[in-house]
Amino acid sequence: MARSKLLSLWQLSKTAAAPGAGTRRFATSIPRWNEAKTAQPGKETANGNDKGGEKNENEDKKKGGFGQSILANTAILVFGALIGTSWASFNLCKEPPEFLFPHTSTLPLASTLSPLYGDSKLVIEELKGFLKEDQVSEAKDDINNHSDSFFSTDHPTPDEHPDAVVYPETTEQVSQIMQAAHKHHVPIVPFTGGTSLEGHYITTRRGICLDMSRMNKIVALHKEDLDIVVQPGVGWEDLRDYLQPLGLIFGPDPGPGAAIGGMCGTSCSGTNAARYGTMRENVVSLTVVLADGTVVKTRRRPRKTAAGYNLTNLFVGSEGTLGVVTEATLKLNVLPKFENVAVVSFPSMSDAADAVAKVVQSGVQFNAMELLDAQMMKFVNESGSVTKNYDEKPTLMFKLGGNSIKVADSITNDIKDICNECHCGKKNFRFASSDEEKEELWTARKVALWSTIDAGREVYGEDAQVWTTDVAVPISKLVQSLVDTRKILDDEKMMSSIVSHAGDGNYHTFIVYPKKDHDRVRQVVQHMVTRALELDGTVTGEHGVGIGKREYLREELGDVGVNVMRKIKFALDPLLILNPDKVIQVDPEEKKK
């Protein structure tokens, strides 16, 4: 807080010290005073007689002498006082006293100032000096590709697009770019896959988009240690294809197209999270370029450590607001040798959710457990991405496996028992018969969002918008939360589908709506969010906050929690050049859309 206040002081002193303010006024005042003094005798002579004039002159001398000595004394006094004052103010600024600038651990929005940004052109010019020609692009296509996506919940205003897109190729280049941006106070928005849903890469303050897609190399694979060092532009699907033949797997599996950099940014997860954890459990170490261009490595690559602050996990989930990830060491897991994919349909949502809770509570180790509601199954069938027709009922999809057939089978039996208990019916528990079907089923789950959008476009045409929610609640509250949500959506007659990473109580609602319904959808979502928070849940399980969920973040953690985050943001990035306006509001005067 002290720093931001100092900034404001600095601005104040800048205006005060500017040649227009003090000095000029001072300069103009002198001639006027002189003019008046010289005019005085002239007036006197014009008006009064000679005698009077002499008398006056005498008196003038007398009083003037007296006045001069006082003036001289006071002048010294005043001068001394002025020096004293400037000394005092000097010290005041050098070491702001605590009663004026309390050293609090939080930073409320009200005590910040609106950030000021510089001209991107200066940075772009500077970058052209040390980057290759094709690394800096101001082409319209590039700029449009880095401003928005059709599936995002939030869209930029026409004015919110980057001034240039820069493609760095090494960590050093990223550092140089950050130094230049830092020098000129120009915002930098990191970008990798561009698959985020909450407007994470909207350039609200223009500036420069830092596309990391050219840093897409696998740096080192340590098979013995089960870790891998990669650059941020590596797509998780490419990584999966690279690791599969080696019998290894990297846990998180978010939406198709996502790359490591963005995955670290949003702390994403996916269908495997219940088994292998989210990004924050799977990142061993990060190389990060900070706002001023400093390059830090948060760790080497031990499997566990208790040495110092956990910076790795501070950057994972910071959505590019604290630093730019340029290299990541990831934990790997061994691919299960035998895996069954089971599809189980239930008569009702509450039965399905009940089965979920029971499976989790039993401690049986499943590799993935996904829940799709009846509506979703309908969209899947309609999408044409599956060859079989599935029951349009609430459905659980399992990945069950182990290192031997026996292990896989006994796990499967346990799950079967639980599902039977929850009225699934023996007939409705079936396995994917072939590897193709396994693949197909899982792909169908992966493209759920797109199938929903496609279904929406059939109804609303190109006007169709999608709103994705991302709520997670404790397992025992999942039943209630899902049933409530479905009811709200049905009551409002919204076209929607629900999919859930049931193993960790996380579910998404995809609502498709025509543009004009925006406010109505917002209300419905707000209602769902409030319900989730009441159930001790979170408003975003894996998509992140971006620009769309900042208000929900405040609702979840309260002002104090957000104020602590803001304190950290301002400490690491005092000029607020890294992805401004995301995760937390940093500008008290920010215009509401």
Q: 214 or 358: whose CB is closer to another protein? A: 358
How near is the Cβ of 70 to another protein at its closest, in Å? 6
How near is the Cβ of 329 to another protein at its closest, in Å? 9
SS3 call for 379: helix
419 binds another protein (CB under 8 A): no
Q: 133 or 224: whose CB is closer to another protein? A: 224
Considering only residues 535-574, where is the footprint of another protein by CB under 8 A? 536-545, 549, 552-553, 556-558, 560-562, 564-565, 567-574
By CB neighbour count within 10 A (0-12 exposed, 13-18 middle, 19+ buried), where does 297 fall? middle
78 binds another protein (CB under 8 A): yes
72 binds another protein (CB under 8 A): no
Among 58, 61, 65, 86, binds another protein (CB under 8 A): 86
Considering only residues 101-120, where is the footprint of another protein by CB under 8 A? 102-106
Site stretch for another protein (CB under 8 A), options 80-88, 346-354, 374-382, 419-427: 80-88
76 binds another protein (CB under 8 A): no
SS3 call for 66: helix
Among 20, 65, 67, 425, binds another protein (CB under 8 A): 67
Phi, psi (rounded to 5 degrees) for 246 = -90, 0
Number of alpha carbons in the 13 Å side-chain half-sphere of residue 266: 34
Among 14, 132, 388, 518, binds another protein (CB under 8 A): 14
- The whole-angstrom separation of Cα 489 and Cα 509 is 9
Considering only residues 178-217, where is the footprint of another protein by CB under 8 A? 182
If one counts every other C-beta atom within 10 angstroms of the C-beta of residue 237, the result is 14
CA torsion sign for 361, 365, 366, 368 is positive
Tokens of 477: 């509250």
Considering only residues 386-405, where is the footprint of another protein by CB under 8 A? 402-404
Among 155, 301, 457, 527, binds another protein (CB under 8 A): 301
Among 20, 33, 436, 530, binds another protein (CB under 8 A): 33
Among 132, 337, 520, 522, binds another protein (CB under 8 A): 337
515 binds another protein (CB under 8 A): no
- The whole-angstrom separation of Cα 587 and Cα 62 is 63
SS3 call for 138: coil
Q: Provide the mask over 143-162, with x wherever binding to another protein is found by CB under 8 A and - wherever it is not.
A: --------------------
If one counts every other C-beta atom within 10 angstroms of the C-beta of residue 61, the result is 10
- The whole-angstrom separation of Cα 19 and Cα 523 is 53
CA 568 to chain centre: 14
Q: 91 or 157: whose CB is closer to another protein? A: 91
How near is the Cβ of 455 to another protein at its closest, in Å? 27
How near is the Cβ of 197 to another protein at its closest, in Å? 12
Reported in sequence order, the residue ranges of 71-185 that DSSP labels E, i.e. its strands, are 136-137, 164-166
Tokens of 328: 């990541």
Query: Which residues, in sequence order, are bridge partners of residue 577?
Result: none
Considering only residues 223-242, where is the footprint of another protein by CB under 8 A? 224-227
138 binds another protein (CB under 8 A): no
Task: Give the residue from 191, 134, 126, 123 showing the smallest Cα distance to 163.
Answer: 123
Task: Give the residue from 468, 556, 476, 555 showing the smallest Cα distance to 512.
Answer: 468
